[in-house]
Amino acid sequence: MEVNRSYCETYNIDERLIVIFEYKLKTMPLYKKLLNDFLNIINKLEHNNINKLTKVEISNSVGLSYTSVVNKMKFLIQYDFIYLKSNGVYDVLSKDIESALPFRIMADIGVIKNYLDLKEENITKFISTILSVNESDVLKAQGYLTYITQSKQVKVTKKRF
C-alpha cells in the first residue's frame, strides 16, 4: 500500500518537503536505533526458528527490556514481519522494517503537522483521512516520530522551491 500524496495538491504542499523530512528522519541516530532494535529481534528469531524462545530470552539476548520486546513483537506480528507458528516458535516473513506502514507515513505526518495549522484534538482523524490509513497506524507513527525526534522537532521550512 502506497501513501496517496494527492493531499499535497489539495493543501498546496510541495512534495519535496516530504522527501526532505524523510531524509532528515532517516539520518537521525534514534531512527537507526529503532530499526536496529526490530532487526535484532527478527535476526534472533530467524536463527532460532525451530526451538522455543521466551520473550525474556529474546530481551536478554538483544539487550532490550521485556516490555520493549513484547511491544516490538506485537508490531512485527501485526505488520506481517513474523508469524507465530506455535508457542515460542516464529517464522520470519520479512526484514524490510522501513516498509511497515507507520514508518512509511512518518514523513507525511511530520510535514502535515508542521505545515498545516491544525487543532491537536482533530489531528489524528484528519491525518488518517487524508492519508487513507487507520487512526491506529497514525498514532503508532506519531509515537515513533516523537521518540525519534526526542522533542528536537524536525522542522521543514515552508519555502517554495
Query: Which of 54, 79, 96 is the last residue in one of the domains?
Result: 96
- Report pLDDT digits (tens) over 131-158: 999 999 999 999 999 999 875 556 655 5
Say yes or no to pLDDT of 100 above 90: yes
Query: What does pLDDT average to over the chain?
Result: 87
The answer to whether residue 5 is domain-embedded is no
Residue-number span of the structural domain to which 108 is assigned: 15-27+98-149
Percent of the chain at pLDDT > 70 equals 88
Q: What is the dihedral of CA 130, 13, 30, 140, to 10 degrees?
A: -10
Instruction: Please enumerate in sequence order all residues whose Cβ is within 8 A of that of 92, keeping only pairs 6 or more positions apart, or say none.
Output: 42, 45, 46, 49, 81, 82
Domain co-membership, 67 together with 38: yes
* CA 59 distance to own-chain centroid: 20
Domain co-membership, 81 together with 138: no
Can you give the pLDDT at residue 1?
A: 54
Q: For position 64, which CATH number holds?
A: 1.10.10.10
Domain co-membership, 87 together with 36: yes
At residue 121, the 3 state secondary structure works out as: helix
How far, in Å, are 51, 110, 154, 156 from residue 44 at the CA level?
11, 32, 32, 37
Say yes or no to pLDDT of 23 above 60: yes
Quick one: average pLDDT of 91-101? 93
The whole-model pTM stands at 0.84
Can you give the pLDDT at residue 151?
A: 52
Total count of domains within the chain = 2
Domain co-membership, 38 together with 92: yes
Residues β-bridged to residue 132: none
Contact 88, 120 (CB under 8 A): no
Can you give the pLDDT at residue 86?
A: 84
Residue recorded with cell 536496529: 36
Say yes or no to pLDDT of 25 above 80: yes
Domain co-membership, 72 together with 55: yes
Residue recorded with cell 498545516: 116
Higher pLDDT, 2 or 87: 87
Quick one: average pLDDT of 42-47? 90
Can you give the pLDDT at residue 154?
A: 60
Domain co-membership, 42 together with 64: yes
Contact 143, 150 (CB under 8 A): no
The answer to whether residue 137 is domain-embedded is yes
Can you give the pLDDT at residue 152?
A: 54
Contact 92, 42 (CB under 8 A): yes
